Amino acid sequence: MKIKDISFFDYTKLEGEEREHYDFAIKYGNMKSFDLFQIGSFLECTFGFVKEFQYILNSRDEKGNSLFTFEKYIELVIDNVTLKPQKLNFKAKIRKFIVKMLNKEAEKKTIIASMSIFDLIKSYNYAVEQLFAINNIENANLSHDPTPEEKQAGIGLFQDMGNFIQQHKLSKFFNCSFDEVESKQYNVCFVALKYDCDLAQYQREINRIRSNK
């Protein structure tokens, strides 16, 4: 069977063996990452944008699988990404014209439905790459293995607070509201969090040195 470049809308209508062929191509084909929505580096996106995507990526279901599925990614794009003008075929233009009279969300869904399923998968891979890179940066610079004393004191209590701890630190650092924190560029927030982390490490070390005198 020849695999054609079809729209997301047409892909959702596939059934049986035909759907299996496309799913196989998506899973094992050469789906290199592609910034379809021209988001750019996630480091230069807003803190709120990055953290919403990152939180879903790092969340797990009962089987330990990430909740950042392709379907969830499309939902996040609809809610958070401004779509650039797209070239649409005649049927897609008609659908867009009809739903445009309803609401913006429906219009976005129509535009995305008309896009190539393969391009959308590549854009999903791009988002995953960007988020893994940010995870690696944060793990290397903003975290440390808890000491026995910290474990004994109950540091595990903070594990389920998601992004609140970082937002709280940044709100104090910039003297602003949580909403204002979310609108700031992620890389600016990262530098502030790195400073806070390094300062805490310095204070722990200087206290240790002083206590040994």
Q: Which two tokens stand for residue 184?
A: 């700031």
Give the C-alpha separation, 6 to 12, whole Å: 10
Identify the pLDDT of residue 155.
60
The C-alpha R_g of the chain, in whole angstroms, comes to 22
Report the predicted TM-score, pTM, of the whole model to 2 decimal places: 0.84
Q: Which two tokens stand for residue 81?
A: 């990404």
Strand partners, 22: none
Identify the pLDDT of residue 115.
93
Give the C-alpha separation, 209 to 211, whole Å: 6
Considering Cα of 154, then 160, then 164, then 170, what sign does the dihedral take? positive
Identify the pLDDT of residue 159.
66
Identify the pLDDT of residue 111.
87
Identify the pLDDT of residue 157.
61
Give me the tens of pLDDT residue by residue for the chain, a chain 213 residues long. 788 999 999 999 999 999 999 999 999 888 899 999 999 999 999 999 999 999 999 999 999 999 999 999 999 999 999 886 555 454 554 444 444 545 667 778 888 999 999 999 999 999 999 999 999 999 999 976 666 666 666 566 666 667 899 999 999 999 999 999 999 999 999 999 999 999 988 988 898 888 886
